[in-house]
């Protein structure tokens, strides 16, 4: 049995920052100086953004545009920490005051997706598309949400549109290839993975996904080469270890396959059920 295909960055957060280490900062400012707090809110690490944004939000007589920025940035900081329920509440508050804030709407849809609320995520990305019809990211992300609700045709249509808007969008090629591979459209899937890797030769997920299509087609030797490259690019990539074990088993290399199964177990912290 081949592992489920790994679909990269299923829900994109357009502005959510990556978590960063705590920084040294002077204490919060006095209640009246919301402008300096706002500066720290929008430019600080998550550990600093959340308290400073909260202080701005709690300040009386702050202009709506400032509150929108504070709610949105606090949402981004919470999103980066994996606090999707809290991030969602902040994005909703920001959109309540600024319904056309397209980046906030994008991140709200991403939070919904990370909470498993895929139908609502689709609605959210559709709002982004209505506001900005040429946003390739929104089509790509909505396509990923359609995958989660088993709407393959709609997913492919969205990936097609994302690629037409941005022909250098490696992730959209990869994601379309994932769907085509799952549907058994192996030649088309391989063409998509080839395109993704031409655009981004260090795209470990695309190497893994192309290998899955190759295994499905019976080309296990080529699959092992792709999975070895995926692991060079991303050591400890559990799906790649598992997929390489499958390919090695089919090549009669049981001992080598067992090593990959053990590596997958170590990477995941437990064996695959």
Position 159 scores a pLDDT of 97
The mean of the pLDDT values for the chain is 87
Position 34 scores a pLDDT of 67
List pLDDT tens digits, range 16-27.
Answer: 333 333 333 444
Position 27 scores a pLDDT of 42
204: left (phi over 0), alpha (psi -120 to 50) or beta: alpha
Weakly modelled stretches of the chain, pLDDT under 70: 1-34, 44, 270-273
Position 4 scores a pLDDT of 40
Tokens 């609502």 belong to which residue? Answer: 120
The angle subtended at Cα 168 by Cα 164 and Cα 171, nearest 5°, is: 90
Query: For the whole model, what pTM was predicted?
Result: 0.84
Position 22 scores a pLDDT of 33
Q: How far apart are CA 53 and CA 72, in angstroms?
A: 9
Position 42 scores a pLDDT of 78
Position 43 scores a pLDDT of 77
Q: Which two tokens stand for residue 255?
A: 């001992």
């Amino acid at each position: 049995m081949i592992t489920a295909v790994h679909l990269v960055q299923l829900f994109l957060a357009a502005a959510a920052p990556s978590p960063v280490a705590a920084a040294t900062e002077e204490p919060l400012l006095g209640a009246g100086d919301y402008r300096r707090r706002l500066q720290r809110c929008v430019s600080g690490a998550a550990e600093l953004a959340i308290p400073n944004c909260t202080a701005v939000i709690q300040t009386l007589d702050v202009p709506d545009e400032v509150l929108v920025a504070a709610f949105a940035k606090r949402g981004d900081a919470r999103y980066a920490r994996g606090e999707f329920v809290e991030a969602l509440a902040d994005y909703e508050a920001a959109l309540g005051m600024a319904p056309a804030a397209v980046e906030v709407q994008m991140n709200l849809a991403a939070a919904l997706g990370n909470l498993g609320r895929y139908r609502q995520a689709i609605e959210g990305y559709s709002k982004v598309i209505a506001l900005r019809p040429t946003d390739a990211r929104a089509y790509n992300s909505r396509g990923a949400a359609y995958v989660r609700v088993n709407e393959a045709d709609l997913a492919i249509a969205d990936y097609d549109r994302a690629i037409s808007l941005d022909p250098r969008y490696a992730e959209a090629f990869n994601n379309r290839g994932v769907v085509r591979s799952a549907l058994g459209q192996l030649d088309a899937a391989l063409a998509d993975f080839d395109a993704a890797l031409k655009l981004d030769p260090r795209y470990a997920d695309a190497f893994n996904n192309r290998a899955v299509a190759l295994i499905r087609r019976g080309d296990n030797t080529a699959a092992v080469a792709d999975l070895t490259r995926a692991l060079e690019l991303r050591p400890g990539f559990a799906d790649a270890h598992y997929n390489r074990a499958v390919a090695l088993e089919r090549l009669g290399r049981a001992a080598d396959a067992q090593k990959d199964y053990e590596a997958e177990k170590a990477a995941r912290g437990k064996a695959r059920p």
